[in-house]
């Protein structure tokens, strides 16, 4: 084990010496987390991808906040692949960044690479999505939403709307990418809430990968296979927006023939809600950048930070969307 670690240390040192000039990262620190010549904190960030309006707003927030906080940001887009995120994190470890932050595309399978970061003395901050690692010492904090709550709020709204229903209410569900925390948790919260009324039944549930194309394609299949669909619960706005096309093409009126509930509340989703095509949105804020940069500074300074920091969120009806839309920033 020790031999292995020594070999790795030599390999890391050699690659740092080799790429040092090219990468111009200005590292002169002794050991992970040390300070730089210019005094700037370097953050290595691995983003899920660019799959949705939410993600685009999140990326903008992170880049702008890093610049405003004077943090040197190294940014990598993993294109929705866990292997790319692991590769990016390993690169950041090699480069001896001060802090690593990432939004894990799926919940499982992070222990090994997180342990490598820990062994290198580089603190890790989870942002947006969490991991299911049992060892909580592998990361400093998790900043993000309560996805179970978002699903529950969506479900509770539906229970209230359908409280007078005397027959079955058929629900179809568009899930986020398989294994992602927001997909698992929104499904859970929604399912628990609608259990309050046995008339509410999920008759089909499939991943649409959080994308418009995925939402459209899966909704087309749902519509073909199920003559009576009363409600669509989409785990994000983008899938709901994609589904709108499939619903209209099938000759149905979205927001009327089919009640549509989504999560996120990005501008396009809010517009659909204000236009009466969606019926309800549980908000999920992508503006995590400022808090993330604050946390990075604290963690770098060795300060204690809370293990969990929850984003504040609300919900929107059609009327509320009309009011909120003019001031919506993303
Ligand atoms: O809801 C979805 C995005 O992880 C909260 O990922 C995020 C989710 C968001 O693709 O639009």
Q: Divide the 330 residues of the chain into consecutive groups of 10 and give the mean pLDDT of each group.
A: 43 39 34 57 98 98 98 98 98 98 98 98 98 97 98 98 96 98 98 98 98 98 97 98 98 98 98 98 98 98 97 97 94
Probe ligand 1: pick from 48, 49, 55, max atoms within 8 Å of CB? 55
Probe ligand 1: pick from 207, 236, 240, 282, max atoms within 8 Å of CB? 236
Which of these, 314, 311, 324, lies nearest to 141 by C-alpha position?
A: 311
Q: Which CATH architecture has domain 35-145+286-312?
A: 3-Layer(aba) Sandwich (3.40)
Cβ atoms of 104 and 93 closer than 8 Å: no
Q: Enumerate the H helices of 146-199 as residue ranges.
A: 147-161, 181-194
- The confidence score (pLDDT) of residue 38 equals 75
Q: What are the residue ranges spanned by the domains of the chain?
A: 35-145+286-312, 147-284
Full-model pTM: 0.88
- How is residue 25 annotated by DSSP? -
Interatomic CA distance for residues 228 and 56, integer angstroms = 35
- The confidence score (pLDDT) of residue 287 equals 97
> If you compute the radius of gyration of the chain from its CA atoms, what whole number of angstroms results?
22
- 80 φ, ψ to 5°? 60, 25
Q: Say whether 28 sits in a helix, a strand or coil.
A: coil
The upper half-sphere exposure of residue 38, i.e. CA atoms within 13 Å in the direction of its Cβ, equals 10
Using CB atoms within 10 Å of the CB of residue 277, give its burial: 0 to 12 exposed, 13 to 18 middle, 19+ buried: buried
Q: How far is CA 99 from the centre of its chain?
A: 19
- How is residue 82 annotated by DSSP? H
Query: Residue 52 C-alpha to ligand 1 middle, in angstroms?
Result: 7
Interatomic CA distance for residues 239 and 219, integer angstroms = 9
Q: Say whether 226 sits in a helix, a strand or coil.
A: coil
Element spanning 144, H or E: strand 141-144
- The confidence score (pLDDT) of residue 28 equals 32
Q: Say whether 52 sits in a helix, a strand or coil.
A: coil
Query: Residue 33 C-alpha to ligand 1 middle, in angstroms?
Result: 30
- The confidence score (pLDDT) of residue 37 equals 58
Atom of ligand 1 nearest to the CA of 129: 4
* Tokens standing for residue 246: 């499939």
Atom of ligand 1 nearest to the CA of 180: 4
CATH number of the domain located at residue range(s) 147-284 in this protein: 3.40.50.2300
Interatomic CA distance for residues 180 and 199, integer angstroms = 28
Residue at token pair 């396009």? 268
Interatomic CA distance for residues 115 and 94, integer angstroms = 14
Interatomic CA distance for residues 170 and 262, integer angstroms = 16
Comparing 35-145+286-312 with 147-284, is the CATH topology the same?
yes
Cα of first residue to Cα of last residue in the chain, in angstroms, is 49
Which of these, 200, 199, 268, 274, lies nearest to 233 by C-alpha position?
A: 200
Query: Residue 327 C-alpha to ligand 1 middle, in angstroms?
Result: 21
* Tokens standing for residue 76: 């990598």
């Amino acid at each position: 084990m020790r031999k292995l670690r020594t070999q790795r240390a030599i390999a890391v040192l050699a690659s740092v010496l080799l790429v040092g000039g090219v990468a111009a990262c200005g590292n002169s620190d002794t050991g992970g987390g040390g300070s730089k010549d210019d005094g700037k904190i370097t953050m290595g960030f691995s983003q899920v991808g660019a799959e949705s309006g939410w993600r685009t707003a999140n990326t903008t927030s992170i880049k702008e906040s890093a610049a405003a906080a004077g943090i040197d940001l190294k940014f990598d887009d993993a294109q929705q692949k866990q292997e790319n995120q692991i590769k990016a994190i390993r690169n950041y470890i090699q480069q001896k960044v001060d802090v690593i932050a990432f939004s894990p595309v799926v919940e499982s399978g992070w222990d090994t690479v997180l342990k490598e970061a820990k062994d290198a003395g580089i603190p890790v901050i989870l942002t947006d999505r969490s991991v299911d690692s049992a060892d909580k010492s592998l990361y400093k904090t998790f900043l993000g939403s309560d996805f179970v709550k978002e699903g529950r709020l969506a479900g509770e709204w539906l229970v209230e709307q359908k409280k007078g229903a005397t027959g079955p209410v058929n629900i179809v569900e568009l899930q986020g990418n398989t294994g992602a925390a927001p997909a698992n948790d929104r499904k859970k919260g929604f399912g628990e809430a609608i259990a309050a009324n046995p008339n509410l039944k999920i008759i089909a549930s499939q991943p649409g990968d959080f994308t418009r194309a995925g939402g459209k394609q899966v909704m087309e299949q749902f519509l073909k296979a199920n003559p009576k669909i009363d409600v669509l619960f989409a785990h994000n706005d983008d899938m709901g927006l994609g589904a709108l096309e499939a619903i209209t093409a099938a000759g149905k009126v979205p927001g009327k023939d089919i009640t549509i509930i989504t999560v996120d509340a990005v501008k396009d989703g809010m517009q659909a809600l204000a236009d009466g095509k969606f019926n309800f949105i549980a908000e999920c804020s992508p503006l995590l950048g400022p808090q993330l940069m604050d946390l990075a500074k604290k963690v770098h300074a060795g300060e204690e930070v809370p293990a969990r920091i929850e984003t504040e969120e609300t919900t929107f009806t059609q009327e509320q969307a009309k009011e909120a839309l003019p001031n919506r920033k993303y």
